[in-house]
């Protein structure tokens, strides 16, 4: 039998297990655009249960129904991204099957897994086979058979994992995009890793431990006093390894002296085979040139510390803004909440009447709790939410049922321009249902293009993509791969228009683009679309160099 206390510890073990393996799961993501990443989203979702479990006074008399209910509630509120929402539903269904039970035998456990699968399938509008849904369903079926054969809980979970792994290996045959990329489904892998974490605890009685690198800080925030702009003398943190067997020089003391002349924080350690180097410098090329005399360079890593610092400070600012979301009484008829990132985008939605903007988007999916908190801080009886990203819509929709004193209405905007158009069409004189349909219709009237970069090497949709290449997105689809940002944006504008003559074109430029570059591109777009009104807006958004909006 699995008691409530055992199940709580098993879930902590499972959360730790996926935190340890989240990067390898993230690497399975087929689409090469920067995103929230499946492993990270699932890990953050299930980790939401850890704090709740630690706060509960769980002892040997605590029923598994109470523990499972607390876990399901925590995951629902902490769900991030589509994979996190599906995971929360798997545990929600599991919890429903635990009602009234103090412990679970193998038949109960198998039944709870199956109940979780049913809930997950119901939560997805168009279930796709070859995903975590298939893996969890087949695992539950195997568990049911094992339990009927009289196996105990450990053996039943082992049977579920064995079948889950077999199904996971078959997912490339179910989804062509997985086969092309030569990977299995990331969500399915995450689910197996969670089951393995549960099994590990039940077999050993020990919770899987975390290393420091596996921990989640509050939105990745670090202490701002750790570093300031003035503390950074040299820009690039540079690390690499030298293979000594291929080198000409051998005197590492001379190499250390040279690196010290062009940077600081120099660390040079070596043995008979390699030299490991760390240096902060503005002359990365010189460091590479000199080190290459000692052998071939391997495992090169260069990071801009000034950018890292700005990102960290931005996360601190985001945290501060989240803390502004204090619940208030619903007094007005209507209110609006948007999800966006970048100072320009936040200011734009605020100017359009959104009382609160949840900071997030691609690569930073807010949780259901984040969205709910923002809605509760708007003094309105009916709060319209613009997710502005396809991977945030499901998390926003989960907030609908959690609201207690107001109605949350999700306008399923998949892009920032759709959200902007929806907010522009807000009309407080309309009845709620009519206003909802008006804003949904406005979103559908917008065509969106986005210019970003490849976050990883990939063979996607017949295209051989290398990390760092420019990706042109027409709505959610990869249009083409390029090498120059402005040229790609201009070509993408042609493809979006598809021979038509838009009335309005808006070019939102990101934090990596200078205003002069954006203005030059806007001039080129104006020449190409002479009848259109072309505007540029400093969105300040990360990830996307440009977001293009076409209307009319």
pLDDT tens digits, 228-266:
556 678 888 888 889 988 888 888 889 989 999 999 878
Q: How far is CA 331 from CA 217, 339, 350, 364, 378, in A?
A: 36, 23, 19, 31, 9
Residues pairing with 549 in the sheet: 448, 506
User: Residue 367 in contact with residue 318, Cβ under 8 Å?
Assistant: no
Residue 44 contacts by C-beta under 8 Å, 6 or more apart in sequence?
Answer: 78, 80, 84, 216, 367
pLDDT tens digits, 328-358:
999 999 999 999 988 889 989 999 999 999 9
Residue 379 contacts by C-beta under 8 Å, 6 or more apart in sequence?
Answer: 328, 329, 330, 331, 332, 335, 355
Residue 132 contacts by C-beta under 8 Å, 6 or more apart in sequence?
Answer: 83, 86, 87, 120, 185, 187, 188, 190, 191
Q: Where are the domains of the chain?
A: 2-209, 233-304, 318-432, 447-551
pTM: 0.72
Cα 101 to Cα 135: distance, rounded to the nearest angstrom: 26
Q: How far is CA 87 from CA 387, 425, 518, in A?
A: 20, 35, 41
- Residue 215, classified by CB atoms within 10 Å of its CB into exposed (0-12), middle (13-18) or buried (19+), is exposed
Ordered DSSP codes for 181-205: HT---HHHHHHHHHHHHHHHHHHHS
User: Which helix H or strand E contains 73, and what residues bound it?
Assistant: helix 64-78
CATH architecture of 233-304: 2-Layer Sandwich (3.30)
Looking at residue 220, its pLDDT comes to: 30
Looking at residue 227, its pLDDT comes to: 46
Looking at residue 2, its pLDDT comes to: 94
Beta pairing, strands 332-340 & 380-386: parallel
User: Residue 449 in contact with residue 457, Cβ under 8 Å?
Assistant: no
Cα 512 to Cα 545: distance, rounded to the nearest angstrom: 6
Among all chains, which residue has been given the structure tokens 């990365």? 284
Cα 376 to Cα 358: distance, rounded to the nearest angstrom: 12
CATH architecture of 2-209: Alpha Horseshoe (1.25)
Cα 309 to Cα 231: distance, rounded to the nearest angstrom: 11
Looking at residue 414, its pLDDT comes to: 94
Residue 63 contacts by C-beta under 8 Å, 6 or more apart in sequence?
Answer: 4, 101, 102, 103
Q: Which residues of the chain have pLDDT under 50?
A: 36, 217-227
Cα 143 to Cα 163: distance, rounded to the nearest angstrom: 9
Among all chains, which residue has been given the structure tokens 């599906």? 86
Within 13 Å and on the Cβ side, how many CA atoms surround 147?
21
Residues in the chain: 552
233-304 shares its CATH topology with 318-432: no
Angle between helices 38-55 and 4-26 (to 10 degrees): 160
Residue 282 structure tokens: 């503005």
Domain 318-432 bears CATH identifier 3.40.50.720: no
* Domain at 447-551, CATH class: alpha beta
Within 13 Å and on the Cβ side, how many CA atoms surround 279?
29
Looking at residue 318, its pLDDT comes to: 58
Dihedral of alpha carbons 32, 38, 40, 44, sign: positive
User: Which helix H or strand E contains 11, and what residues bound it?
Assistant: helix 4-26
| Pick from 353, 322, 319, 351: nearest CA to 337 | 353
């Amino acid at each position: 039998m699995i008691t409530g206390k055992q199940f709580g510890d098993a879930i902590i073990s499972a959360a730790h297990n996926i935190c340890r393996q989240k990067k390898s799961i993230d690497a399975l993501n087929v689409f090469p655009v920067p995103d929230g990443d499946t492993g990270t989203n699932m890990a953050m979702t299930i980790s939401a249960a850890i704090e709740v479990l630690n706060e509960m006074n769980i002892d040997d008399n605590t029923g598994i129904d109470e523990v499972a209910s607390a876990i399901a509630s925590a995951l629902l509120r902490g769900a991030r991204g589509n994979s996190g929402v599906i995971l929360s539903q798997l545990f929600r269904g599991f919890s429903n099957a635990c009602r009234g039970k103090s412990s679970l035998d193998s038949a109960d456990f198998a039944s709870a897994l199956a109940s979780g699968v049913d809930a997950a399938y119901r939560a997805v509008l168009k279930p796709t086979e070859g995903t975590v849904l298939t893996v969890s369903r087949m695992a539950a079926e195997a568990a049911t058979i094992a339990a009927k054969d009289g196996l105990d809980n450990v053996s039943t979970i082992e049977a579920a994992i064995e079948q889950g792994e077999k199904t996971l290996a078959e997912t490339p045959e179910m989804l062509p995009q997985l086969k092309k990329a030569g990977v299995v489904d990331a969500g399915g892998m995450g689910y197996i890793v969670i089951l393995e974490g549960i099994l590990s605890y039940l077999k050993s009685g020990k919770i899987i431990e975390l290393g420091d690198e596996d921990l989640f800080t509050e939105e990745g925030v670090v202490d701002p006093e750790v570093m300031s702009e003035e503390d950074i003398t040299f820009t690039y943190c540079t690390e690499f390894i030298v293979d000594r067997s291929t080198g000409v020089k051998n005197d590492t003391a001379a190499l250390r002296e040279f690196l010290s002349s062009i940077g600081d924080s120099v660390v040079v350690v070596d043995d008979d085979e390699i030299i490991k180097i760390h240096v902060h410098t503005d002359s990365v090329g010189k460091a590479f040139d000199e080190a290459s005399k000692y052998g071939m360079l391997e495992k090169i890593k260069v990071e801009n510390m000034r950018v890292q610092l700005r990102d960290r400070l931005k996360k601190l600012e985001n945290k501060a803004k989240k803390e502004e979301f204090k619940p208030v009484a619903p007094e007005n008829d209507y209110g609006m909440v948007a999800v966006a990132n970048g100072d320009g985008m936040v200011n734009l939605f605020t100017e359009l009447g959104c009382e609160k903007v949840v900071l997030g988007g691609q690569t930073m999916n807010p949780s259901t709790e984040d969205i709910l908190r923002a809605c509760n801080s708007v003094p309105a009886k009916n709060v319209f939410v613009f997710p502005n990203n396809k991977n945030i819509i499901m998390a926003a929709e989960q907030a609908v049922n959690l609201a207690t004193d107001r109605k949350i209405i999700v306008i399923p905007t998949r892009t920032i321009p759709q959200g902007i158009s929806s907010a522009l069409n807000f009309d407080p004189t309309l009845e709620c249902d009519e206003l909802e349909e008006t804003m949904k219709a406005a979103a559908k009237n917008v065509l969106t293009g986005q210019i970003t970069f490849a976050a990883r090497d990939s063979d996607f949709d017949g295209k051989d993509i290398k990390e760092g290449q420019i990706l042109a997105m027409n709505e959610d689809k990869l249009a083409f791969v390029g090498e120059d940002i402005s040229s790609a944006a201009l070509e993408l504008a042609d493809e979006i228009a598809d021979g038509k003559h838009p009335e309005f074109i808006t070019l939102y430029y990101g934090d990596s683009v200078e205003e002069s570059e954006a203005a030059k591109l806007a001039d080129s777009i104006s020449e190409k679309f002479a009848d259109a009104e072309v505007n540029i807006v400093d969105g300040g958004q990360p990830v996307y160099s440009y977001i293009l909006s076409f209307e009319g």
